[in-house]
Amino acid sequence: MRHGAVSAGRRTRARAARNAWRRGEILRSAGRVLQERGLAGVTMEHVAERLGLTKGSLYYYFEDKEDLLYQCHLQATAASLEALRRARPSLPPDGRLREVLMGHIRGITGEEHGAIMLTDLETIAPARRRRIVAMRDRFERGVRDIIREGIETGVFARVDVRLAGFAILGAINWIPKWYDPRGPLSPDEVAAQMAGLMVGALRR
Protein backbone atom coordinates (compact mmCIF):
# COMPACT_ATOMS: atom_id res chain seq x y z
CA MET A 1 0.00 0.00 0.00
CA ARG A 2 2.54 2.48 1.02
CA HIS A 3 4.63 1.10 -1.76
CA GLY A 4 1.67 1.27 -4.08
CA ALA A 5 0.97 4.85 -3.10
CA VAL A 6 4.55 5.87 -3.65
CA SER A 7 4.61 4.15 -6.95
CA ALA A 8 1.43 5.84 -8.01
CA GLY A 9 2.86 9.11 -6.79
CA ARG A 10 5.97 8.58 -8.85
CA ARG A 11 4.01 7.80 -11.91
CA THR A 12 1.84 10.83 -11.54
CA ARG A 13 4.79 13.05 -10.93
CA ALA A 14 6.68 11.75 -13.94
CA ARG A 15 3.60 12.16 -16.05
CA ALA A 16 3.03 15.66 -14.77
CA ALA A 17 6.61 16.59 -15.58
CA ARG A 18 6.24 15.19 -19.09
CA ASN A 19 3.02 17.11 -19.47
CA ALA A 20 4.57 20.35 -18.29
CA TRP A 21 7.50 19.87 -20.64
CA ARG A 22 5.12 19.34 -23.54
CA ARG A 23 3.26 22.50 -22.64
CA GLY A 24 6.51 24.38 -22.62
CA GLU A 25 7.46 22.94 -25.98
CA ILE A 26 4.18 24.08 -27.44
CA LEU A 27 4.64 27.55 -26.02
CA ARG A 28 8.11 27.79 -27.50
CA SER A 29 6.82 26.56 -30.82
CA ALA A 30 4.08 29.14 -30.71
CA GLY A 31 6.61 31.82 -29.88
CA ARG A 32 8.74 30.96 -32.88
CA VAL A 33 5.85 30.76 -35.31
CA LEU A 34 4.56 34.02 -33.93
CA GLN A 35 7.85 35.69 -34.63
CA GLU A 36 8.02 34.31 -38.16
CA ARG A 37 4.49 34.86 -39.38
CA GLY A 38 3.23 37.62 -37.16
CA LEU A 39 0.18 37.30 -34.96
CA ALA A 40 -2.20 37.70 -37.88
CA GLY A 41 -0.63 34.78 -39.73
CA VAL A 42 -0.46 32.21 -36.96
CA THR A 43 -2.80 29.22 -37.07
CA MET A 44 -3.11 26.38 -34.62
CA GLU A 45 -2.02 24.08 -37.40
CA HIS A 46 1.25 25.97 -37.85
CA VAL A 47 2.04 25.69 -34.18
CA ALA A 48 1.27 21.97 -34.14
CA GLU A 49 3.02 21.23 -37.42
CA ARG A 50 6.29 22.58 -36.15
CA LEU A 51 6.24 19.90 -33.44
CA GLY A 52 5.05 17.10 -35.67
CA LEU A 53 1.65 17.11 -34.01
CA THR A 54 -1.84 17.68 -35.31
CA LYS A 55 -3.75 20.70 -34.19
CA GLY A 56 -6.22 18.56 -32.32
CA SER A 57 -3.56 17.66 -29.79
CA LEU A 58 -3.05 21.23 -28.77
CA TYR A 59 -6.47 21.24 -27.21
CA TYR A 60 -5.33 18.61 -24.80
CA TYR A 61 -2.93 21.15 -23.31
CA PHE A 62 -4.70 24.45 -23.84
CA GLU A 63 -8.31 25.50 -23.69
CA ASP A 64 -8.27 27.41 -26.92
CA LYS A 65 -6.08 29.60 -29.07
CA GLU A 66 -6.50 32.62 -26.88
CA ASP A 67 -5.41 30.59 -23.88
CA LEU A 68 -2.27 29.60 -25.74
CA LEU A 69 -1.45 33.20 -26.63
CA TYR A 70 -2.22 34.24 -23.10
CA GLN A 71 0.18 31.70 -21.62
CA CYS A 72 2.87 32.95 -23.98
CA HIS A 73 2.37 36.49 -22.77
CA LEU A 74 2.27 35.35 -19.19
CA GLN A 75 5.54 33.49 -19.44
CA ALA A 76 7.34 36.30 -21.23
CA THR A 77 6.13 38.93 -18.79
CA ALA A 78 6.93 36.74 -15.82
CA ALA A 79 10.48 36.33 -17.09
CA SER A 80 10.97 40.08 -17.23
CA LEU A 81 9.57 40.51 -13.74
CA GLU A 82 11.96 37.82 -12.61
CA ALA A 83 14.84 39.85 -14.02
CA LEU A 84 13.62 42.79 -11.98
CA ARG A 85 13.41 40.72 -8.82
CA ARG A 86 16.82 39.21 -9.36
CA ALA A 87 18.70 42.48 -9.79
CA ARG A 88 21.11 42.77 -6.89
CA PRO A 89 20.01 45.66 -4.66
CA SER A 90 23.61 46.17 -3.60
CA LEU A 91 24.45 47.59 -7.02
CA PRO A 92 24.27 51.31 -7.80
CA PRO A 93 21.32 52.36 -10.01
CA ASP A 94 23.24 52.19 -13.27
CA GLY A 95 24.55 48.71 -12.64
CA ARG A 96 21.18 47.51 -11.42
CA LEU A 97 19.36 48.94 -14.41
CA ARG A 98 21.86 47.24 -16.63
CA GLU A 99 21.13 43.88 -15.08
CA VAL A 100 17.38 44.30 -15.35
CA LEU A 101 17.53 45.37 -18.96
CA MET A 102 19.86 42.55 -19.88
CA GLY A 103 17.49 40.04 -18.36
CA HIS A 104 14.60 41.60 -20.21
CA ILE A 105 16.45 41.54 -23.51
CA ARG A 106 17.58 37.98 -23.08
CA GLY A 107 14.01 36.95 -22.48
CA ILE A 108 12.96 38.63 -25.70
CA THR A 109 15.75 37.46 -27.97
CA GLY A 110 16.09 34.00 -26.47
CA GLU A 111 14.40 30.85 -27.65
CA GLU A 112 12.25 30.48 -24.59
CA HIS A 113 9.16 32.44 -25.42
CA GLY A 114 9.88 34.37 -28.59
CA ALA A 115 8.98 37.98 -28.55
CA ILE A 116 5.33 38.02 -27.75
CA MET A 117 5.69 41.44 -26.22
CA LEU A 118 5.42 42.65 -29.75
CA THR A 119 2.06 41.17 -30.50
CA ASP A 120 -1.12 42.95 -29.76
CA LEU A 121 -2.80 42.40 -26.46
CA GLU A 122 -6.02 43.44 -28.14
CA THR A 123 -6.72 39.88 -29.20
CA ILE A 124 -6.90 38.74 -25.59
CA ALA A 125 -10.12 39.00 -23.63
CA PRO A 126 -10.34 41.74 -20.97
CA ALA A 127 -10.16 39.46 -17.93
CA ARG A 128 -6.93 37.79 -18.95
CA ARG A 129 -5.60 40.98 -20.47
CA ARG A 130 -5.88 42.81 -17.17
CA ARG A 131 -3.54 40.37 -15.51
CA ILE A 132 -0.90 40.78 -18.20
CA VAL A 133 -1.21 44.53 -18.15
CA ALA A 134 -0.89 44.55 -14.37
CA MET A 135 2.33 42.55 -14.56
CA ARG A 136 3.71 44.69 -17.34
CA ASP A 137 2.92 47.82 -15.37
CA ARG A 138 4.72 46.43 -12.36
CA PHE A 139 7.79 45.84 -14.49
CA GLU A 140 7.68 49.30 -16.00
CA ARG A 141 7.24 50.86 -12.59
CA GLY A 142 10.29 48.96 -11.38
CA VAL A 143 12.37 50.30 -14.23
CA ARG A 144 11.16 53.83 -13.63
CA ASP A 145 11.99 53.54 -9.95
CA ILE A 146 15.57 52.69 -10.79
CA ILE A 147 15.81 55.58 -13.22
CA ARG A 148 14.42 57.95 -10.62
CA GLU A 149 16.84 56.72 -8.02
CA GLY A 150 19.69 57.20 -10.47
CA ILE A 151 18.68 60.77 -11.05
CA GLU A 152 18.43 61.50 -7.35
CA THR A 153 21.80 59.91 -6.76
CA GLY A 154 23.23 62.04 -9.52
CA VAL A 155 24.32 59.10 -11.69
CA PHE A 156 21.73 59.80 -14.35
CA ALA A 157 20.86 62.98 -16.19
CA ARG A 158 17.66 64.79 -15.25
CA VAL A 159 15.28 63.34 -17.83
CA ASP A 160 11.54 62.88 -17.77
CA VAL A 161 11.33 59.56 -15.97
CA ARG A 162 8.13 58.39 -17.60
CA LEU A 163 9.23 59.18 -21.12
CA ALA A 164 12.70 57.79 -20.59
CA GLY A 165 11.18 54.55 -19.34
CA PHE A 166 8.95 54.28 -22.37
CA ALA A 167 11.83 55.07 -24.69
CA ILE A 168 14.11 52.45 -23.19
CA LEU A 169 11.50 49.72 -23.11
CA GLY A 170 10.37 50.62 -26.61
CA ALA A 171 13.90 50.37 -27.92
CA ILE A 172 14.19 46.95 -26.33
CA ASN A 173 10.80 45.61 -27.30
CA TRP A 174 11.55 46.56 -30.86
CA ILE A 175 14.64 44.39 -31.01
CA PRO A 176 12.93 41.32 -32.50
CA LYS A 177 12.05 43.40 -35.54
CA TRP A 178 15.66 43.63 -36.60
CA TYR A 179 17.56 41.04 -34.61
CA ASP A 180 18.51 37.89 -36.45
CA PRO A 181 19.63 35.02 -34.17
CA ARG A 182 21.65 33.60 -37.05
CA GLY A 183 23.54 36.87 -37.37
CA PRO A 184 26.94 37.67 -35.88
CA LEU A 185 25.58 38.83 -32.52
CA SER A 186 24.61 36.24 -29.92
CA PRO A 187 21.62 37.00 -27.71
CA ASP A 188 23.98 37.72 -24.85
CA GLU A 189 25.98 40.17 -26.93
CA VAL A 190 22.89 42.02 -28.05
CA ALA A 191 21.72 42.15 -24.47
CA ALA A 192 25.03 43.50 -23.26
CA GLN A 193 25.45 46.07 -26.00
CA MET A 194 21.91 47.36 -25.98
CA ALA A 195 21.74 47.55 -22.19
CA GLY A 196 25.07 49.35 -22.21
CA LEU A 197 23.78 51.80 -24.77
CA MET A 198 20.67 52.58 -22.73
CA VAL A 199 22.46 53.03 -19.45
CA GLY A 200 25.14 55.09 -21.16
CA ALA A 201 22.46 57.32 -22.64
CA LEU A 202 21.03 57.98 -19.19
CA ARG A 203 24.34 58.49 -17.47
CA ARG A 204 25.69 61.96 -17.14
Contact residues: DNA, CB under 7 A: 4, 7-8, 10-11, 14-15, 18-19, 22, 42-45, 48, 52-57, 59-61, 64-66
Q: How far is the CB of 175 from a second copy (least distance, A)?
A: 7
- SS3 assignment, position 84: helix
Cβ(144)–Cβ(162) under 8 Å? Answer: yes
DSSP string, 20-75: HHHHHHHHHHHHHHHHHH-GGG--HHHHHHTTT--HHHHHHH-SSHHHHHHHHHHH
Residue 111 interacts with, from DNA, a second copy, none (CB under 5-8 Å by kind): none
Residue 133's binding partner out of a second copy, DNA, none, with CB under 5 to 8 Å set by partner kind: none
* Nearest Cα residue to 174 out of 141, 198, 158, 157: 198
Rank residues 86 and 189 by Cβ distance to a second copy and give the closer one: 189
Q: Which is nearer to a second copy, 37 or 86 (CB)?
A: 37
- By CB under 8 A, name the binding residues for a second copy: 36-41, 119-123, 157, 159-160, 163-164, 166-175, 177-178, 193-194, 197-198, 200-202
* Min CB(1)–DNA separation in Å: 9
How far is the C-alpha of 74 from the C-alpha of 186, rounded, in Å?
25
Q: How many residues does the chain have?
A: 204
CB of 202 to a second copy, least distance (A): 7
